Structure 1
């Protein structure tokens, strides 16, 4: 089983970004994703700098993947995506169908990211024919759904032609909107946001009237209010999963991979806090925590 560090979903300073990827090089991560996937106004690193950083990380021997935006709203954002795809040899993670089409046209292999709505084997076969090498399952799907989908892949004769990755740790990206919720929270128009996301390195927690943490607002992205954590589900994944993804919350996420690896056989289970969840994996409400 391999482990990946997903792209940073939040708006961090350039110093924090560089510190995180320096730590990632020394971590147990096999795969490192990087690039801006949420909002093109987050320009601490320019597109060319992301590509340069990716190439420098690739020299370490780790697999490096450039991640594209999940919601494109302008021609400039398409140009940025083209810059990522024309990177000169690095694989990309496509989080939008236009990225898949551009990658296919250029002959660039791609990972189908969790924002791609791929829910069955026939869709995966189409993506495979376009150049997909790895599929990161949509975050709301369960273990049983995955098992059934992979059985369909067996019947189509494609099961061993791509890797399977799951989102195993972090705040789940649930939805995207043309509106910026962070700017709205500060009573700012989206076009005059003054990059206020930089003030919230892990997003803005939203509570219900009863005080329950239900969502995290991250610019145009709505995330779960509880941190998804599948560390205790690893023993049941060996026959299905190739890669487990940890979504960066801080530099400490790099070291957390060691805890995941230690529990691959179930010998070092973790006690999940009341701010963590694993419901979707068990076909429950996403906020719930299943305890055997």
Structure 2
């Protein structure tokens, strides 16, 4: 089983981003996804910078995948997507069907935002060149088991196993709205929130996280104590979503469990100080996403 580092969903400075990937080059992560997937207005890194990072990681022995933007809103966004698709050097993660179409049969990774929930859809994507698919965040273990039984020969499966879950994307920038700023003059305020802007309920409970045009879960999705189940289901890759602090330690926690050097419970205890918020795993067990399997979920 391999470990993948998903694309950075937050807006970090150029220096911070370069230092982050330099550090990740020495970890035991196998696959690294690169690129701006959330908002085209984020401009700290240009296309040439992402290629330079890709080259550095490739030289360090990592498999590099370039990710396309999730929500395309303009001709410029489409042009950027096509540039990623036609990079000619690195595998591409297609995050919308426009990118799939532009692949023209070349091998690609079907990103989680394609929302593949049934075997016929996965077969169609396989016919168009998909070599690996990332399951939707909401998919349960039972639903994945049914998909695995029917997946196309040679198709790899990747599961989002750690991180705050991106739940929705919009044309409106929620972080700018929080400052009463229009998106067109957002002043790039999301760079001030390296792990997103947390929202709480009136009762003070963590609820959501604003990340530009994206809304994320406040709790951290974490399947580290389900790795034995993931192995039994034939999952090939586990994805870890980057956070501003402790990502390298998170990677090593997952590696220790995959290699049977630690139990899931031991790793989860170690990770308690590394997670920016409490843990959830409800979707994996067919429950509401913010639930935890250890808790008894009572439907209101």
| Counterpart for residue 100 of structure 1 | 100
| Counterpart for residue 212 of structure 2 | 219
Write the distance in 2 (CA, Å) between the matches of 1:167 and 1:44: 26
- 1:182-240, Cα deviation, whole Å (9 max, x unpaired): 00001100100011110111111111111111111101111111011111111111132
Matched residue count: 285
Length-normalised TM-score, structure 2: 0.91
CA contact (8 A) 1:28 1:255 kept: no
CA contact (8 A) 1:51 1:84 kept: no
Query: Secondary structure in 2 aligned to 1:198?
Result: helix
Write the distance in 2 (CA, Å) between the matches of 1:97 and 1:212: 37
Q: Offset of 1:98 from its aligned partner?
A: 0.5
Whether 1:278 aligns to 2:281 is yes
| Counterpart for residue 254 of structure 2 | 260
Q: Offset of 1:250 from its aligned partner?
A: 2.1
Write the distance in 1 (CA, Å) between the matches of 2:169 and 2:31: 25
| Counterpart for residue 230 of structure 2 | 237
CA contact (8 A) 1:91 1:108 kept: no
Extract unaligned runs of 5+ from structure 1: none
Write the distance in 2 (CA, Å) between the matches of 1:72 and 1:101: 14
List 4+ stretches of structure 1 deviating above 6 A. none
- 1:152-184, Cα deviation, whole Å (9 max, x unpaired): 33xxxx2x3211000000000111111000000
Length-normalised TM-score, structure 1: 0.94
Write the distance in 2 (CA, Å) between the matches of 1:277 and 1:79: 37
Counterparts of 1:90-129 in structure 2, within 5 Å, are 90-104=90-104, 107-129=105-127
Write the distance in 2 (CA, Å) between the matches of 1:241 and 1:190: 39
Extract unaligned runs of 5+ from structure 2: 296-300
Whether 1:78 aligns to 2:78 is yes
Write the distance in 2 (CA, Å) between the matches of 1:81 and 1:56: 22
Counterparts of 1:111-260 in structure 2, within 5 Å, are 111-153=109-151, 158=152, 160-239=153-232, 240-260=234-254
Q: Offset of 1:82 from its aligned partner?
A: 1.2
| Counterpart for residue 9 of structure 1 | 9
Write the distance in 1 (CA, Å) between the matches of 2:41 and 2:108: 24
RMSD after superposition: 1.5
Write the distance in 1 (CA, Å) between the matches of 2:256 and 2:59: 27
Q: Which moved more, 1:41-50 or 1:139-148?
A: 41-50
Write the distance in 2 (CA, Å) between the matches of 1:9 and 1:268: 26
Query: Secondary structure in 2 aligned to 1:281?
Result: helix
Q: Which moved more, 1:129-138 or 1:108-117?
A: 108-117
Cα 1:54–1:251 change in 2 (3 A) is farther
CA contact (8 A) 2:222 2:279 kept: yes
Q: Offset of 1:109 from its aligned partner?
A: 1.6
